[in-house]
Amino acid sequence: MSFAISSLQNKRLKDLRLIMEKSKERRETGLFVIDGWKEILMAKDAGYYIQSLFVRDGSTYKKEIDELWPENRPESVLVFRDIFDKLSYRGVTSGAIAIAEAKQHSLNQIQLSANPTILVLDAIEKPGNLGAMIRTADATAIDAIICCDTATDIYNPNVIRSSVGCVFSVPTAMASRDKTIEWLKENHIQILTTSLKSSITYTQMNLKLPTAFVLGTEATGVHPIWEDCSNQNIILPMLGKNDSLNVSNTAAVLLYEALRQRNK
């Protein structure tokens, strides 16, 4: 463990905060921040390169760091408790913050199973929703998530936090709508789009087939291109006064229905 940092004005902490808070900084540097020891370990297990660690003074991670990185150990910096707690979302429950290198997320990196399930997220904006859907994708063991024309950075700290680190375990690709549609058709995956247009109830569909669920934003729904290219538009019945669910709840319903059908 190297020297202890005792001020928020330290250049290392200023750089860390920039990466944590600014999507542009993450894009330009190719780096992102992981807040929490559990999430750091998940990223390491998924093959992410951990560049540096900022450890809260008084934590017990020094021995674990030595054991986990017997070679090529990331630079480890001790941070005074009051300073660390101002940096971390979780403070004392976090214990460590890492700077890691981002990965590429292309369609050709997805390794499909014999009978794949894919979640396509069209222009999703809210990091909390994206993180929640990644967490559900991990729970249902789907093949991949594809983010199309999205304004949400998957390395946003809120995505990492709300996914409880599953952003590192779920294969995720970033692609345009056109490229994604082409890829799905090439791999003979049926496209089911959540839409009111010419739709049927999701339980009427055969989800034992290779399937991609397409979900859009709650405000505007999916782009019309998905409604036009879909094998079938589907809907969840709404029996109350509201006309839609939160998008992450919709994803959970659909993915667990696919899991239920396939386990029958």
Nearest alpha-carbon partner for 173 in 149, 209, 140, 141: 149
What average pLDDT score do residues 111-137 get? 96
Q: How far apart are CA 207 and CA 82, in angstroms?
A: 51
Specify the pLDDT at position 58.
81
Whether residue 255 contacts residue 137, with contact meaning beta carbons closer than 8 Å, is answered with: yes
Q: How far apart are CA 202 and CA 41, in angstroms?
A: 37
How confident is residue 31, by pLDDT bands cut at 50, 70 and 90? very high
Whether residue 214 contacts residue 122, with contact meaning beta carbons closer than 8 Å, is answered with: yes
Domain ranges of the chain: 2-101, 107-262
Amino acid at residue number 107: L
pLDDT value at 1 more than 60: no
- The reported pTM is 0.92
What is the fold of 107-262? Alpha/beta knot (3.40.1280)
Is domain 2-101 in CATH 3.40.800.10, yes or no? no
How confident is residue 92, by pLDDT bands cut at 50, 70 and 90? low
Per DSSP bridges, beta strands 96-101 and 31-35 are antiparallel
Mean of all residue pLDDT scores within the chain = 92
pLDDT value at 66 more than 90: no
Whether residue 36 contacts residue 96, with contact meaning beta carbons closer than 8 Å, is answered with: yes
